[in-house]
Amino acid sequence: MAKSAATITLFTSSALAAGIGIASANPGAVGTTTVVLDATLRNCDFSLVRNPPLGREPALGTGQVRIHTTGSTATADVYLADPPQPGTTFNVGIIEEPRPSSESCGPGAPGTVYTTMATDAAGVGTVTVHDALRPGTTGVWVMIQRPNPHAQDPAEYYTTEFVVPA
């Protein structure tokens, strides 16, 4: 028994030393949360798009976002690896919640900040986006989209798995 307990304790200590831990979702907290990117298309209120665009290219990228929040700002450090698409430009935005699904959340919309990110020859891109939070903002999430030259729907898209409390 003592050997098993020591092994579990050693694993837990190793996991914490490696930076693996449980992220807390405490509204109003100041801190950093790491969120995985999913190939999911979302409405502006963070709900899933029920009928995603047909004929889009498969999303083969992976990545994560580190979102830092304070009382009045949010910063997203975005990392995307998309090896099949080197040299590609993506639009990256922070979206503030709550917002109705009918409200726009594209570049220039209130409660959003966008920048562009280009992947290098290996298909890796990083960018940092900052946003001054509006009063009443309870959380933020990140949207990454590659524009489609032949349609209004994006050719490729990624969003954070959940809304990070602000």
Q: How many CB atoms lie within 10 A of CB 99?
A: 20
| 5 band by pLDDT with thresholds 50, 70 and 90 | very low
Helix (H) or strand (E) holding 114: strand 112-118
The SS3 call for residue 12 is helix
Reading the block at residue 90, the tokens are 């993506």
Amino acid present at 41: L
For residue 6, pLDDT beyond 70: no
The predicted-structure confidence for 19-42, as pLDDT tens digits, reads as follows 333 333 444 446 899 999 999 999
Ordered structural domains, the chain, with CATH: 23-165 (2.60.40)
Residues 6 or more apart from 124 whose CB is under 8 A from it? Answer: 79, 80, 81, 82
pLDDT score for 55:
57
DSSP state of 35: E
The model's pTM: 0.79
3-class DSSP assignment, residue 74:
strand
Q: What is the pLDDT of residue 22?
A: 30
148 contacts: CB under 8 Å, gap ≥ 6: 56, 154, 155
| Each residue's pLDDT tens digit, 92-141 | 999 999 998 789 999 999 999 999 999 999 999 999 999 999 999 999 99
Average pLDDT, the chain: 82
Helices and strands (H and E) in the chain: how many:
1, 9
Task: Report the percentage of the chain scoring pLDDT > 70.
Answer: 77
Residue 66 has pLDDT above 80, yes or no: yes
Q: Give the pLDDT of residue 26.
A: 41
Look at residues 60, 91, 97, 96 and name the one whose alpha carbon lies nearest to residue 78.
91
Q: Which residue has the higher pLDDT, 24 or 61?
A: 61
